[in-house]
Structure 1
Amino acid sequence: MNTSEEDFFVLSELSPGSAQKWLALAVVFGLLVLVFIAAGVLSNVQPHRIDAFVPAYTTAMFVSDSITAILLFAQFSILRSRAILVIASGYVFTALILIPWILAFPGVFVPGRGLIGGLQSTSWLYFSWHAGFSMFVIGYALLKEAEPDNRITNAIDSMIEVGGSRVLSVESKMHEDGHVRVSVADTGAGIGPQDIDRIFNPLFTTKPEGMGMGLSICRSIVEAHDGRLWAVPNTPRGAIFHFSSIRSVSA
């Protein structure tokens, strides 16, 4: 098969599970408690001046934005999505603008003024920081809306080099024992007999630039929900991926 396995597994496209939702709710609740304590119980406490607070805050923001940009650029190298490229560039912008912002911040390097600019430079840089990143977010949303489903595009790409008819089909079937099976079939190059049992192994890939993690992680997720994921050759050519799972009670 011409498409790499990791194209079928993208973290940013997964829906959060119940445990992740509860964790997010707990984090929000914890932050609200901290705000309540700071605004109520500790409202009359005068904190001491900490000269290293602004540099430490700026450093943390720079590291966080830089790591986020690196992860997004890595995802762009796999998906080739212009929307991801735009938002990754936005995080690079926010990381870089922190440099002149901290240099212009009054009192950090020079008492009473900034190392560069005037007294209003910090405010203008702060405004440019947040307004500029908002433009990147808007660009990301517009491009993401315009892009086709990446999984369908990858499946089509797998059949480009094959002559004749090109058919991509998705089929679902409910069995009497309560299992639901979903099948995705294409008429591409297919999977070699020597690879049919190895494509789900970690770090195995059929493309030079592949990572070989997608199908392995997908199988782990399916099996964790008492399901099964497997692949078989299609007729007359191509491949069929099946996965089955127990039907949800709410369904």
Structure 2
Amino acid sequence: MTLSIRNLTVAIGERRLLANISLAVAAGELVAVIGPNGAGKTSLIHAAVGDLPAQQGQVAFAGRALADWPGRERACGMALLPQFSTLGFPFTVREVVLLGRGPHRSGAKVDGRIADAACDATDIEHLRTRRYTHLSGGEKQRVQLARVLAQIWRAEDAPDRLLLLDEPVAALDIGHQQVVMGQVRRFADQGVAVVMVQHDISLAARYADRLLALREGQAVAEGEPSAVVTQQTMHRLFDTDTRVIPHPDTGTPVVLHG
């Protein structure tokens, strides 16, 4: 397994963020983490990359505990897009995307081609010479996604690749949501393990292979979208009545609420 989380418990002081969570994600698999605000979704993503220490349990990347990985070597195969990315320097968009190639030693020409390809993939090629600080929120989000994609773009850079995304489409319009989710899905299809926090349940169900539902730091359900996205589970997660219907084109579950 590219990512293995076993019996993970995370706490800050007396506050427990995650309790006994287990998750295994294989190469080529996209897992979406869903749940209400404060459920522990972001905590799980940051524990998976080692930013939050485990009170108990273990996180392993490519069969090795996170602590056993040298920082640069781990960064060659593991990339994180946080929920909020702050950058106040007036770098150009292309320069920001090139930051993702920092852990590698592939040379300026190769890195430049990868950065340009990542820009194309996230529909920001027309912004490459613009100052990052002059962009809209949605444009900045796509630049940051291009940066983390560039970080693990090539299979030859690392034998195992893991992409961790915390609400990657939160600031995007409908068109760019489809662009980004399609590119994330293609990354998974190319052998990258992907774990993504997603608030839009219908969007998560359309693109993910599996869903992990959290509430109050505990796992409520895990499995294929059709098994997790049910009216009963939605009520348990969000304390509200919903209706779940199949998408007319894909058959994946769609959540309706009034």
Q: TM-score range by the shorter chain?
A: under 0.3
Q: Structure 2 length normalisation: TM-score?
A: 0.23
Q: Structure 1 length normalisation: TM-score?
A: 0.23
Greater share of helix residues, 1 or 2?
1
- Name the larger-Rg structure: 1
Ranked by relative contact order (alpha carbons within 8 Å, sequence separation 6 or more), the top structure is 2
